[in-house]
Chains A and B, each alone.
Chain A
Amino acid sequence: MTARARLGVPDLGVGVGLRVPHYGHVLREQPAVDFFEVISENFLVEGGKPRYHLARVLESYRVVPHGVSLGIAGPEPLDREYLKRLKRLLAEVKPPWLSDHFCWSGAGGAHVHDLLPIPYTKQAIERVVERAREVQDFLELRFALENTSSYLSYEASTFSEWAFISEIAERADIGLLLDVNNVYVSAYNHGFDPFEFIEQVPHERVVQIHLAGHTNLGAYIIDTHRGSVIDPVWDLYRRTIELTGSVSTLIEWDDEIPSFDVLMAETEKARAVRDRTLSGAPLEPVPRGVPTQTDASSEHEHGWRQGGPREIADGAAAK
């Protein structure tokens, strides 16, 4: 896959979502991470720890901002002030692309800080295409949207999720951030074959891949970004790489965040899968079809927060 086919976006290798508990380790130890992804909203502030840490990380690493608040499909127009602040951040970070989600995040002036699922309709396609173009033009940077995990689907939907996001990506000329774990979660929750999703999207538009753990509650899976990537998701990742070629891949971990070494082990696993797949070595056949309950737990307190822990005051420092 050539750089041209990848929308001019480079393969940055295997990265990690940078989270507050790891700032100290990253700045001190300078681990061999290919790139970091940061939650854009955490850095749309004027000063203090967030900006300091971002500046230090930028001295040594490539950083890609990933937004959680655009709500591109919502009833209200795009938030101009948010986009202006984002553009100022981009001027500082100078990333090769930036991303947000196929979702909406509120209505009637409220912002619910969630990645709410979109009805897969023609009307929604028109809206997201227009706004995605607008965002990409305004920010003057390759823009990508990520497929989300969802827990409901709509009677009004007339497209599959993969057909919906593919049409938007093509018509708006944007990139796709393919979250392979989200594909698996939604496949479990809605009863489709995740391989069909992976195989049907326009592979030349995939500019980044996300991998993460999740929490299987039996009746549904919730995208907690907790725990290691499960084997069926690794299988999906392998198939994705087979179809896309080398694409920047990122490990996300937002709940019960472990030591950085554990994340590094996940990145090494991703790298091994990626390298082996790209080498053309024969791949073992994997079972296809609708995911079944493979890792159910009895957990129910799943207060996850999109975007992970926010950069807030450490009360112990307030003396």
Chain B
Amino acid sequence: MTRLEDEDRANEPNELDRILLFFAEQLGKRRALPKDAALSERARGVVCASGRLSPVERLEIYREQFWLRHTASLVEDFPGLSGILGQGPWQTLIEGYLDAYPPRSFTLRDLGLDLPEYVAAQHWLPEHALCRDMARLELAYLEIFDAPDAVPLDAARLAEIPEEAWQNARIALHPALRLLAVDYPVATLRQQLLLAQTSGEEVPIPAPAPEYLLLYRHDLSMFHQQLSAGAHALLEALTRRVPLVAACEQAQAKIPGEATAIAENIGPWFQSWTARGFITGVEV
């Protein structure tokens, strides 16, 4: 036997792992296992029959649970997206997603982390652009739900900062805050879809209407606020830790139509953002 053959043998799964790998391989299959005659035969060598079920039927219990558990978790995390799509397309989407991105994290919280990216590539989806925006919105909500806590900046602290220090000041924003630019009014639609879960009312698909959103957590609940393009651009630059004056300049360059408004509103914006706890620190 050559050294390479020795190494190959050492890397081969042992008897225990061969059993576990065989089992694991069956869980993500979409088709009911008892329909597979060859597998039924193979299962007989691994799993015992019970008085009531064959080996493959016993394996099927776990496969069925795999799908029920993960689809239920994604419905819970993406009620807007599943509401837009309805049962059939949603099921197809999720089966494809779990095939492409099998769960790898120890926590179900992370199950949908790649769903927005996957949705973006699924051009067959009805209302594709709307679905893409909704998936991004719902992932952002998941992220802010249990993002770190932080103590808001005391407004009095702002007043103490000398005028000349603002030039290079870097603003720390609350970690439970996300910015989103969307082509559809998805935050409102999501609320309507959630209400419709109990009322049973039909929710019409909205027309495109670009929005800049700020999603945030306040007193443990989650909210959204519509922003102007200029305010969104400024906050976006601040999240990248761009110093304040440079952030204003970047926002003005990005949204030239609001350059004046940005300059005029920056004071009131900061007062409002501070009062609402969005700002947690100023490094001068």
- Which residues of A come within 8 Å of B, CB atoms? 41, 44-52, 69, 73-75, 79, 82, 104-114, 116, 119, 121, 123-124, 127, 151-156, 189-191, 218-220, 222, 302-306, 310-319
Contact = CB atoms under 8 A, between A and B. Distances in A.
B217 interface: yes
B27 interface: yes
Contacts of A112: 24, 27, 66, 103
B50 A191 contact: yes
A304 B64 CA distance: 11
Interface stretch (B67-75, B161-169, B255-263): B67-75
B55 A152 contact: yes
A47 B147 contact: yes
List of 10 A-B pairs having minimum Cβ-Cβ separation, nearest first: A303-B68, A152-B58, A45-B146, A47-B149, A107-B24, A69-B106, A317-B221, A46-B148, A48-B146, A75-B17
A127 B20 CA distance: 13
Interface residues of B, number: 66
A124 B16 CA distance: 7
Interface of B: 13-17, 19-21, 23-24, 27-28, 45-48, 50-53, 55, 57-59, 61-62, 65-66, 68-70, 72-73, 76-77, 79-80, 102-109, 141-142, 144-150, 175-176, 187, 190-191, 194, 217, 220-224
A106 B24 contact: yes
5 contacts: A113-B70, A152-B59, A152-B61, A219-B53, A319-B222
A47 B194 CA distance: 25
Contacts of B65: 114, 303-304
B109 to A, nearest CB: 7
A284 B73 CA distance: 44
Contact of A111 (B14, B106, B142): B106
A317 B222 contact: yes
B104 A190 contact: no
Given A112-B103, A113-B103, A153-B47, A310 B194 contact: no
Contacts of B52: 218-220
A123 B16 contact: yes
Contact of B104 (A41, A104, A111, A302): A111
Contacts of B187: 318
A51 B69 contact: no
A220 B66 CA distance: 17
A222 B61 contact: yes
Contacts of A111: 103-106
A123 B142 contact: no
Contacts of A218: 52
Contacts of B72: 303, 305
Contacts of A189: 50
Given A47-B146, A303-B69, A156 B15 contact: yes
Contacts of A73: 20
A248 to B, nearest CB: 26
Most B CB contacts (10 A, CB to CB) among A152, A219, A310 go to A152
Given A123-B14, A152-B47, A220-B52, A110 B103 contact: yes
Which among B17, B106, B220 has the highest number of chain A CB atoms within 10 Å?
B106
A26 to B, nearest CB: 16
Given A41-B107, A46-B175, A73-B20, 7 more contacts: A75-B17, A107-B23, A116-B62, A119-B16, A154-B47, A154-B48, A313-B77
Contacts of A222: 61
Given A49-B145, A154-B19, A110 B102 contact: yes
Contacts of B77: 312-313
A312 B145 contact: yes
Contacts of A316: 194
B104 A109 contact: yes
A48 to B, nearest CB: 4
A203 B95 CA distance: 45
A156 B109 contact: no
A52 to B, nearest CB: 6
A53 to B, nearest CB: 9
B106 A82 contact: yes
A305 B73 contact: yes
A49 B220 contact: yes
Given A110-B28, A153-B47, A50 B20 contact: no
B106 A79 contact: yes
A212 B55 CA distance: 27
B15 A123 contact: yes
A164 B149 CA distance: 44
Contacts of B175: 46-47
Contacts of A110: 24, 28, 102-104
A124 B15 CA distance: 10
B47 A313 contact: no
A14 B223 CA distance: 39
A49 B146 contact: yes
A41 B176 CA distance: 20
Contact of A318 (B16, B20, B141, B149): B141
A6 to B, nearest CB: 30
B250 to A, nearest CB: 29
Nearest to A67: B106
B264 to A, nearest CB: 28
B146 A156 contact: no
Contacts of A127: 16
B48 A153 contact: yes
Contacts of B217: 48
B136 to A, nearest CB: 14
